Amino acid sequence: MTKTESLLKKYNNKPNYIIQILQDIQEEHNYLPKEVLHEVSRGLHIPLSKVYSIATFYNIFSLKPRGKHLITVCVGTACHVRGAQSIVNEFERRLGIKSKENTPDMEYTLDSVNCLGCCAIGPVVVSDGKFHGGFKTKDVEKLLGEKH
């Protein structure tokens, strides 16, 4: 029995658990591998197009491999006017990558999103699921230093 089959069995092969199943898969692989999505489709007896529809609708899911550490910078209006773009620029400079890219060693993935829904504490950076409000450009070095 494959890991995916075991996971599907955990949820009794019920399609109404697809989001939880995809979350568990992404937690294990750090993204949603194509071959695993095919297994999910077969195991839940739902069209592959529906699996992809769900996987691409929610921003929490990624179809591309991601680094060990995911850094997300909110660049929505409230964060933007408080300097979010300079934070993105500093992460790009220090990591040597652009937003939506991985470092060559797959240690980091940098992402920027239009809103994280916590405008009052902006600019906001999420690092490995932990929210950092009132983030400043000078905080980039400290945050990256904590990861090593």
Q: Assess whether the previous peptide bond of 123 is cis (omega < 30° from 0).
A: yes
Cα-based angle 85, 86, 88 (whole degrees, multiple of 5): 65
Confirm or deny that 118 is annotated as ligand binding: no
The rounded distance, in Å, linking the Cα atoms of 9 and 107 is 32
Count of C-beta atoms within a 10 Å radius of residue 87: 25
The rounded distance, in Å, linking the Cα atoms of 120 and 36 is 39
Instruction: Tell me the residue ranges of DSSP E strands in the chain.
Output: 69-74, 101-102, 108-113, 125-127, 130-132
- Residue ranges at the known binding site: 74, 79, 115, 119
Which residues fall in the annotated binding site for [2Fe-2S] cluster? 74, 79, 115, 119
